[in-house]
Amino acid sequence: MEIFKKGLILLTLATHQLLAQEVEKSANYLSKVWSPDLGNGKYKNPIINADYSDPDAIRVGDDFYMTASSFNHAPGLPILHSKDLVNWTIINHALPQQYPTAVFNKVQHGNGVWAPSIRYHQGEFYIYYGDPDFGIYMLKTKDPKGDWSEPVLIFEGKGLIDPCPFWDEDGQAYLSFAYAGSRAGLKSVVLIARLNEAGDKVLDKGVVVYDGHELDPTIEGTKLHKRNGYYYMFAPAGGVSTGWQLVLRSKSIFGPFERGVVMDQGKSPINGPHQGAWVDTQTGEDWFIHFQDKDAYGRVVHLQPMKWVNDWPVIGIEKGKKGTGEPVLEYKKPNVGKTYPMANPAESDEFETPLLGKQWQWQANPDGTWLMPGNNGALRLYTKKIPEGTKNLLDVPNILTQKFPADNFMATAKIKLKGNEKIDNERAGFAVVGEDYSQLFIKNTKQGQSLIFGVCKKGLTTGKEVEQQITSIKPNEYIYLRVKVTDGGKCNWFYSLDDKKYTGVGDTFVAKPGKWIGATLGLYAIRDTQINDSGYADVDWFRVEAVK
């Protein structure tokens, strides 16, 4: 028993050491396709040109932490870290798998984690999120880079979304939230419920404190704050791609609330600027993080200056309307007392470590048999039988995805397929995944291996993939699959046998968003039948570069 305990301690220490190495590697990553830091004391928006929708952020000491919606993808609830609000890196996911696990072992497009809030209270980090089909969950930790607790369902019910906790000076705790009309049959209202002191159970069903039907349709995503004796609810309204940022204030937590539109698009090119986080710096500056919906690119993250005028916030720069700001495209960086190195969320991956990079997520909960990272410097993907009734690739859980990282970029995967001789029709490939998708993949049959180009339209509903054989290839040899993405989500596919000469295939494909998310880049290995073993694909590397 003593030997077992020592072995377990050594294994735990080794795991934590690997995690620390992975976080350090991620912290030093510099993107070749998008960096918001202009290097001259200014930054440009978006600060993260990728789909981190419904962002919320806090400052704890000299560190800023952000989380975002992750919907059906696992791991979920990404944790990003910054020292200056401009340079961000991915350090963790708070949710290793989606709950209830039996439900999310299958692909659940658009379901799962909606609009989380992150808060710091009495030495612990808390995240609250709504799952529109089950209710509101809470999880917490003392170390955001480490393990988070399993989520606790603190408020059960259909359509409960967009929660935010608030602990008042008198020890009372509250939770603001909204309703998803698709499940609850009601939307455009925000509510406040009482929380117990531990924050792990609501004490009532809540009361409607603001009705936005007339002036602010689709109001949701509230964030609760208190300043100068006022309770504030920062809330988006008006719809994902067309909305505005609303702030409600009252001297009482339950209202009545005054209303103010503190940011809208105005004459800027930033559509629907809303939903996010008010954060301050150590030097007393105020800033606001929000998203912009960019269709196939998802909801990208912007940073706006913020000021207080007569106890009302003004976000962005006032131009046409008094008290209402417009988003900035470029501005001086926040004053955090120091200057920090440039860093960006990870994209490329050489697959040299035994832990998967933080940029990767699956379409559903992984079962542990799908991959082996860092296998002799490659990512090994074992072919997995597709679920019964699969219409197309969007029903496949074991697609390893990451977000589009910029408006223009080039992504290349060096991949080979080692087929199992007892299995016919094993496939492994690289796809641009959305409601429409396109892909290049290797197909292994008794006659040999072929490279196939596939396109599927309306894949979430009636779509059936159309395939075109491109060429025969040598079995068990690496091939290079590449997609070039340019403005408007235009995708052009290429392949190479030597990473020098690339041949274009197919017509230009225009990427489409998925269900509530932007398009993603996906790697996979699948088969149609089940025996007592599988073949596998090895991905030597995956690289994101500027378009050549």
Residues identified as active-site: 54, 220
Residues 6+ apart with CB under 8 A from 322: none
Backbone angles phi, psi at 86, to 5 degrees: -110, -45
Question: From CA 107, how far away is CA 404, in angstroms rounded?
Answer: 20
Q: Tell me, what amino acid is at 394?
A: L
463 strand-pairing partners: none
The H or E element spanning position 301 is strand 299-309
3-state secondary structure 254-290: CCCCEEEEEECCCCCCCCCCEEEEEEECCCCCEEEEE
CB-facing half-sphere around the CA of 396: CA atoms within 13 A:
25
Q: Tell me, what amino acid is at 322?
A: K
Residues 6+ apart with CB under 8 A from 380: 371, 372, 373, 536, 537, 538, 539
Question: From CA 178, how far away is CA 518, in angstroms rounded?
Answer: 23
Q: Tell me, what amino acid is at 358?
A: K
The H or E element spanning position 27 is helix 2-27
With contact defined as beta carbons under 8 Å apart, do 238 and 272 qualify? Answer: yes
Question: From CA 206, how far away is CA 218, in angstroms rounded?
Answer: 18
DSSP code for 501: S
445, two tokens? 């049959």
With contact defined as beta carbons under 8 Å apart, do 71 and 111 qualify? Answer: yes
With contact defined as beta carbons under 8 Å apart, do 372 and 515 qualify? Answer: no
Query: Could you write out the DSSP letters of every residue in 172-235?
Result: -EEEEEEE-HHHHS--SEEEEEEE-TTSSSBSS--EEEEE-TTTSTT----EEEEETTEEEEEE
Residues 6+ apart with CB under 8 A from 505: 440, 453, 468, 470, 493, 494, 495
